[in-house]
Amino acid sequence: MLDGVGGSLVRPAQAHPTGGDPGSAHEVLAVVFQIRHDRLCVLVWRRGRPPCEGLWALPGGRLGTTEGLGESIRRQLAQKVDVRELAHLEQLETWGDPDRAPFGRVLATAYLGLVPAGIDPLVPDDTEWWPVSELPPMAFDHAVMVGAARRRLRAKLSYTNIGFALAPPEFTMSQLARYYRAALGHDVAATNLRRVLLRRGQIEETGQSVPSGRSGGRPAALFRFRTRKLEITDAFAVLRPPS
C-alpha cells in the first residue's frame, strides 16, 4: 500500500527505498485524529507484509525527491487513504533512531493532522479509526508517535484555538465540551468552557439556536470559532482536570 516504514516495506532482496545509501532514507507519517462517537480516534492501517505483518501503522511513506515535507504528507494522505479534509496539519517531530527500521536507517518526520467531527472520509478496507486509549498492536515506533501527537493536542487546547479543527463549523456548547472532553481525557463542564473561550475571544454566538428536545427546556445557542486558523489566545493557560 505505502512505501517505507509507514507503508509496505521494500523486500530485503530489492534495493533500498531511496535507491542509494541507506542513511539517506526519509519518510513522512501522519497521526490523524478525529473525535468519533465522543472518543479521540487515530487513523491507522493494517500491514499485509513483513516485517510487522498484521500490526497497525500510521499512513504515510517515502519523501519524494522534489517534495517538501508538508507537501508530501498531504499528497500521501489524499492518494493513499483519501483524507483530504484536514482542518489542521502541523509538523510534530522527527524520529531518527538507527534501529527503528529493520532494513537500514530511515528518518521519520511525523505530522499531527485533525479532521473535524461529523466528516466521514471514505478510507480503504485495510484502514480504520481506532480509539487512542485502546490502540491495537502498532508497528515500529508508531505508538510512540501517537502518544506524542496526543500530548501536543492536549497542550495546544490550553493556549490556542485549535479546538476549531475538532469541531464542525457550528456547535452547541454541550457538543464542544464533549469534543474537549474526548481530546483532553478528563471531564470538561460546558459552562466553564464557554466562559473561558468567550473570555479569550475564541468563540462567538451565531445568533441561531437548535430546538429543545422532547424533555423541553430552552433552545441551545449555536456557537462558532471566531477564526478557523490557529491562534495563540493565552500563552500561559492550562486546561487542568478537575481536582
Name the one residue in this structure whose C-alpha cell is 530489492: 14
Q: What is the bridge-based pairing of β-strands 106-114 and 25-36? A: parallel
Res. 11 pLDDT band, cuts 50 70 90:
very low
For 22-156, CATH gives 3.90.79.10
The full DSSP string for 16-37 is -TTSS-GGGEEEEEEEEEEEET
- Class of the domain covering 161-225: mainly alpha
CB count within 10 Å of CB 213 equals: 9
pLDDT in tens, 99-114: 888 878 899 999 999 9
- By percentage, how much of the chain surpasses pLDDT 90? 75
Question: What whole-number distance in Å separates Cα of residue 56 and Cα of residue 8?
Answer: 12
C-alpha cell at 110: 511525523
Task: Report the predicted TM-score, pTM, of the whole model to 2 decimal places.
Answer: 0.88
Report the pLDDT value the prediction gives residue 213, as an integer from 0 to 100: 65
pLDDT at 12 over 50: no
Greater confidence (218 vs 122) lies with 122
| Residue 151 CA to its chain's centroid (Å) | 11
Taking CA atoms, 196 is separated from 63, 99, 160, 161, 237, in Å, by 41, 45, 12, 11, 10
List the domain boundaries for the chain: 22-156, 161-225
Report the mean per-residue pLDDT for the chain. 88
pLDDT in tens, 176-226: 999 999 999 999 999 999 999 999 999 999 999 988 766 666 889 999 999
Question: What whole-number distance in Å separates Cα of residue 1 and Cα of residue 12?
Answer: 17
Burial class (CB in 10 A: 0-12, 13-18, 19+), 110: buried
